[in-house]
């Protein structure tokens, strides 16, 4: 019992100062970063995962690292490729799922989206699986010897030979297990390739295939749809002059020997996987890249430590609002900072992927943020193997919950995981789990806790002598209820997760399980399933859903389905082909390969003749398809070819301005698929859909192909036409008149801007100034005010909107920040470091933070960091914090996690004043123990 008390006391103390669970702030110097958070833990014996997130002058850098200790006898590396053949693509999670003992992996080599060919070689256990695409190419590779020594080296296919032992004739082979559409080539296919050789390319007129089994030629056939590859042999494909050489020097029955000489020698290697460039060599950043993918992108890389006893995998996210990605030279710098003495980069962009088995879990998960929203199908990868046996001795336990807050007298679920000494997940015997709570009272039911008193506390758990804990906050007397999303627009027979949160008077919110709520939904719209998802019905409609808890209710408009209008069924030809640049060739025509009806539109292209950006267009007749109203979205059926090219459309407004929209960021599927995209807000009716096109910017992605299109459809949303009952109005306990208490107390006048016209003409400006002069000791404005009006105020004024700075008045610190360009970073990154230091050194009782624009940053992670910084200050020092923003559409005041946010409404010159647009005057009474405010409205009506 004494140990329990010690654990609860120590965690309770920690909870009292850090229960919001915000990572400690770390100042770093890499790439001008001002904030870093890092989490690390072992996921297997000798295998550690690190997640590093830095906030820099270029945005967020999100880095995932898997470190592998090569000195651990139970740990190793292995090559990943599809178990059904090298010619098949699969998602990294699928490849990892084929190996039970693989607990972490990244994607590997670059490859053609159209074909099944990686750029470089692959070796596994001394077997040459595939060579480079061309004999003369020197391709960067990562290699691991059979003695477990890693190295990075440019790979060369010195000599690949097929020898006729009967005649001594030696045939030079171009590559092993690669697809080719070039004349005068000779490719050898082993059973590792797949069941059959590739079909003859449409660019080749003919070819020969030798079927070789048990080192003898069993057959010689014309290349066509592909030949079956014997398990104990291989097939040699030849075209052009190479086919002539075969015809002249080989016959059925000849004895054959195949040999390959490579540098490094593949027979000495446990594995080889190729990459794009050697980016770090002997501790220095390289600049002479074999492949230089310019710009900021998601990246994948592998590093080797100086002592060559550690290999680590790295992914860096990009192409999102928060994660921009990095340049190739920045990737090299990051690899050095992580400990790389030598490093190589792998395929990046949409291919960047990391999968691992989280500590204490059986299932493996994608741990990074793929830029396309989901995993891309790839050719290969490299992973970390753990052969450490499961042991009885427990290594530790992990306690998790979705959030820390809960509502009194409702249940909260906790997840308990355990792992053994070798970091293998183990099954928990729930009868041996002991639960404890401190700071609040409540009841346990297995892994569920119901708080019966409010306050801040700690949940602790003990299992087989191991302890874990989590801070909790139990809130009582909720004053508002919110449903997320607040409006539901959903297609028929679809699911959308609902989240219901109740808030107390200080803005601390707790999620409530759907089964503890009363939900009323019109029967024709759908239902709530057991997991809290709204499941829409199979018919279109709209209505109002009511969600209630206690005396609180919220009403959510629900719209199911859309009005669909087929604007082109591709049964009649109404378009023509156009290309860019002129070197691109192709055609557009109708084809008897349809998804609906009898015909579809076939768009063919040849992107092999130039390295420039290439596009093949279907240009609709008469300037485009006319739209008299703007749909919510457009879509169509597309028969994909796995080319990886983008599929886009061009829309032209009536004023002649055009907008390009993306129907699919990557044609990475084969067969029919319905693709759709929302119409941008910039498009006005009437407009024309001028063209649909396939486009490629990557110089390496060259192919000949075609796609088919059917049933181009416009979607016009159903509308909710009913009225929405007004939700219960939140009554802020701080909105009250208070007396000044003490020498350090004062009154503060706060306003958006005050312009001389039209307000000044009616004497309103003088009225406001008179009020401030009589009632307040100082003023705060969220943006500049007219100099004529400014002179009417007798007391000092703080004016936000240009730069950043701070000042102190009695017991209060005033901080001005500038977010006029959509965030603090984009406006002036230097203010972030200054702001964080200001927060660390706060000694005042109260803090007012003022921003000229609404708190709606372009970067959602930056906005979260801003709020987390304030919540951390509130929790650690119990400072009363107020955030005042300007230029909001509507006036509002609300608390969130202990911080008050006051959004002043924008007033547009020349508009009539009404109850929504009338500028608000706010009078704060600032005391040491509490800050309160009064709202006084100017109503000229």
Give how far Cα 588 sits from Cα of 604, 605, 618, 652, 704, Å.
6, 9, 7, 21, 14
Q: Residues of the chain with pLDDT > 90: what percent? A: 73
DSSP assigned state of 298: -
Nearest to 336 by CA among 369, 367, 312: 312
CB–CB of 748/772 below 8 Å?
Answer: no
| Orientation angle between helical segments 860-877 and 830-840, nearest 10 degrees | 20
Structure tokens given for 10: 């120590």
- Per-residue pLDDT tens over the stretch 461-512: 999 999 999 999 999 999 999 999 999 989 889 999 999 999 999 999 999 9
Q: What is the pLDDT of residues 559-592, one digit of tens each?
A: 998 888 999 999 999 999 999 999 999 999 999 9
- Average pLDDT, rounded, for the chain: 89
SS3 789: helix
Q: How many CB atoms lie within 10 A of CB 174?
A: 23
pTM for this entry = 0.83
Residue 611: predicted pLDDT: 82
User: Quick one: which of 487, 468, 492, 377 has its CA closest to 415?
Assistant: 468
More reliable by pLDDT, 890 or 478 = 478
Are 61 and 323 in contact, with CB atoms under 8 Å apart? yes
Q: Which residues pair with 637 in a beta bridge?
A: 674, 710
Q: How confident is the model at residue 760 (pLDDT cuts 50, 70, 90)?
A: very low
Burial class (CB in 10 A: 0-12, 13-18, 19+), 844: middle
The tens digit of pLDDT for each residue in 832-858 reads 999 999 999 999 999 999 999 999 999
What is the model's pLDDT at position 31? 63
**Is residue 136 over pLDDT 80?**
no
Name the band, by pLDDT with cuts 50, 70 and 90, for residue 202.
confident
**What are the tokens at 434?**
């002991």
Give tens-digit pLDDT for 84-127. 999 999 999 999 999 989 999 999 999 876 677 888 999 999 99
pLDDT reading at 624 higher than 60: yes
Q: Alpha-carbon distance 444 to 433, whole Å? A: 11
Instruction: Evaluate if residue 757 carries a pLDDT over 90.
Output: no
Over residues 675-731, the pLDDT tens digits come to 999 999 889 889 999 999 999 988 767 889 999 999 999 998 888 888 888 877 788
Dist CA 754 CA 559 (whole Å): 41
Classify strands 186-190 and 175-176 as parallel, antiparallel or unpaired.
parallel
Task: Give the side-chain half-sphere CA count within 13 A for 300.
Answer: 27
Q: How distant is the alpha carbon of residue 505 from its chain centre? A: 34
Say which DSSP state 297 is in. B
Among the listed residues 624, 651, 638, 650, the one whose alpha carbon sits nearest the alpha carbon of residue 705: 638
The pLDDT of 885-903, averaged and rounded, is 92
pLDDT computed for residue 698 by the predictor: 80
pLDDT in tens, 285-312: 998 888 888 899 999 999 999 999 999 9
Confidence class for position 781, pLDDT limits 50, 70, 90? confident
Mean pLDDT throughout 138-152? Answer: 96
- Tens digit of pLDDT for each residue in 788-810? 777 788 888 888 877 899 999 99
Start-to-end CA span in the chain (Å)? 70
With contact defined as beta carbons under 8 Å apart, do 374 and 442 qualify? no
- pLDDT confidence of residue 792: 80
User: CA 502, CA 483: separation in Å to the nearest integer?
Assistant: 9
pLDDT beyond 60 at 778: yes
Please return the burial class of 628, using the count of CB atoms within 10 Å of its CB with bins 0-12, 13-18 and 19+.
exposed
| Number of CB atoms found within 10 A of residue 508's CB | 20
């Amino acid at each position: 019992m004494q140990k329990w008390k010690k654990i609860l006391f120590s965690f309770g103390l920690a909870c009292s100062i850090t229960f919001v669970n915000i990572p400690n702030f770390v100042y770093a110097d890499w790439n001008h970063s001002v904030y870093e958070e890092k989490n690390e833990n072992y996921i297997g014996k000798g295998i550690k995962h690190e997640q590093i997130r830095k906030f820099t002058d270029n945005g967020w850098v999100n880095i995932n690292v898997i470190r592998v200790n090569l000195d651990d006898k139970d740990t190793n590396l292995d090559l990943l490729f599809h178990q059904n053949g090298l010619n098949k693509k699969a998602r990294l999670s699928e490849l990892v799922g084929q190996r039970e003992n693989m607990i972490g992996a990244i994607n590997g080599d670059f490859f053609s989206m159209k074909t099944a060919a990686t750029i470089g070689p692959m070796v596994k256990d001394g077997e040459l699986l595939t060579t480079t695409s061309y004999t003369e190419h020197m391709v960067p590779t990562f290699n691991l010897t059979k003695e477990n020594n890693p190295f990075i080296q440019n790979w060369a296919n010195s000599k690949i030979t097929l020898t006729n032992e009967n005649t001594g004739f030696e045939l030079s082979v171009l590559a092993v297990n690669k697809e080719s559409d070039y004349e005068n080539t000779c490719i050898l296919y082993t059973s590792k390739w797949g069941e059959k050789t590739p079909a003859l390319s449409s660019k080749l007129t003919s070819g020969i295939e030798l079927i070789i089994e048990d080192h003898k030629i069993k057959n010689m056939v014309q290349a066509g749809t592909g030949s079956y590859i014997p398990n104990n042999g291989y097939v040699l494909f030849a075209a052009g002059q190479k086919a002539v050489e075969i015809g002249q020097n080989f016959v059925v029955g000849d004895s054959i020997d195949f040999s390959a000489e490579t540098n490094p020698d593949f027979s000495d290697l446990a594995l080889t996987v190729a990459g794009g460039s050697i980016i770090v060599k002997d501790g220095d950043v390289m600049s002479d890249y074999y492949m230089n993918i310019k710009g900021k992108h998601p990246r994948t890389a592998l590093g080797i430590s100086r002592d060559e006893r550690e290999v680590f995998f790295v992914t860096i996210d990009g192409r999102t609002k928060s994660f921009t990605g990095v340049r190739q030279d920045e990737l090299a710098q990051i690899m050095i900072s992580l400990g790389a003495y030598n490093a190589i980069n792998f395929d990046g962009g949409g291919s960047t992927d990391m999968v691992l088995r989280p500590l204490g879990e059986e299932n493996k998960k994608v741990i990074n943020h793929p830029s396309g929203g989901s995993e891309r199908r790839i050719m290969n990868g490299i992973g970390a193997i753990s052969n450490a046996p499961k042991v009885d001795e427990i290594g530790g336990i992990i306690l998790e919950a979705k959030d820390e807050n809960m509502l009194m007298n409702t249940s909260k679920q906790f997840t308990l995981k355990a792992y053994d000494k070798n970091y293998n997940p183990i099954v928990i015997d729930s009868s041996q789990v002991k639960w404890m709570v401190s700071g609040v009272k409540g009841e346990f039911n297995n892994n569920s806790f119901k708080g019966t008193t409010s306050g801040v506390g700690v949940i602790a758990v003990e299992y087989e002598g191991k302890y874990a804990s989590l801070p909790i906050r139990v809130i009582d007397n909720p004053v508002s209820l919110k449903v997320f999303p607040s409006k539901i627009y959903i297609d028929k027979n679809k699911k959308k997760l609902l989240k219901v949160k109740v808030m107390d008077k200080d803005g601390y919110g707790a999620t409530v399980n759907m089964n503890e709520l009363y939900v009323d939904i019109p029967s024709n719209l759908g239902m709530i399933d057991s997991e809290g998802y709204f499941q829409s019905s199979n018919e279109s409609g709209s209505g109002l859903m009511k969600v209630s808890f206690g005396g609180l209710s919220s009403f959510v408009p629900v719209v199911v389905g859309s009005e669909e209008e087929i604007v082109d069924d591709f049964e009649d030809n109404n378009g023509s082909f156009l290309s860019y640049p002129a070197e691109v060739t192709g055609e557009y025509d109708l084809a008897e390969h349809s998804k609906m009806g009898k015909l579809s539109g076939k768009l063919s292209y040849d992107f092999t003749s130039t390295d420039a950006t290439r596009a093949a267009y279907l240009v609709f007749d008469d300037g485009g398809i006319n739209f008299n109203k703007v749909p919510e979205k457009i879509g169509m059926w597309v028969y994909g070819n796995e080319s990886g090219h983008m599929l886009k459309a061009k829309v032209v407004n009536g004023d002649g301005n055009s907008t390009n929209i993306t129907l699919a960021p990557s044609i990475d599927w084969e067969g029919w698929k319905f693709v759709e995209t929302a119409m941008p807000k910039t498009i006005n009716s009437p407009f024309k859909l001028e063209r649909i096109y396939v486009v490629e910017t990557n110089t390496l992605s060259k192919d000949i192909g075609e796609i088919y299109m059917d049933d181009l459809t416009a979607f016009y949303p159903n509308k909710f036409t009913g009225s929405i009952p007004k939700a219960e109005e939140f009554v802020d306990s701080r909105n009250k008149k208070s007396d000044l208490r003490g020498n350090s107390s004062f009154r503060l006048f706060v306003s958006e801007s005050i312009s001389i016209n039209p307000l000044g003409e009616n004497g309103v400006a003088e009225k406001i100034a008179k009020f401030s002069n009589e009632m307040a000791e100082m003023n705060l404005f969220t943006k500049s005010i007219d100099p004529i009006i400014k002179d009417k105020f007798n007391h000092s004024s703080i004016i936000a909107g240009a730069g950043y700075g701070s000042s102190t008045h009695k017991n209060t610190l005033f901080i001005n920040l500038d977010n006029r360009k959509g965030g603090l970073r984009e406006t002036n990154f230097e203010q972030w470091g200054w702001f964080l230091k200001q927060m660390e050194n706060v000694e005042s009782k109260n803090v007012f933070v003022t921003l000229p624009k609404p708190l709606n940053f372009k970067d959602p992670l930056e906005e979260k960091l801003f709020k987390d910084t304030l919540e951390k200050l509130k929790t650690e020092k119990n400072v009363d914090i107020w955030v005042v923003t300007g230029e909001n559409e509507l006036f509002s005041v609300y608390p969130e996690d202990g911080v008050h946010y006051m959004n002043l409404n924008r007033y547009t010159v020349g508009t009539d004043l009404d109850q929504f647009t009338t500028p608000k005057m706010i009078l704060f009474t600032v005391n040491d123990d509490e800050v309160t405010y009064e709202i006084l409205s100017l109503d000229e009506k």
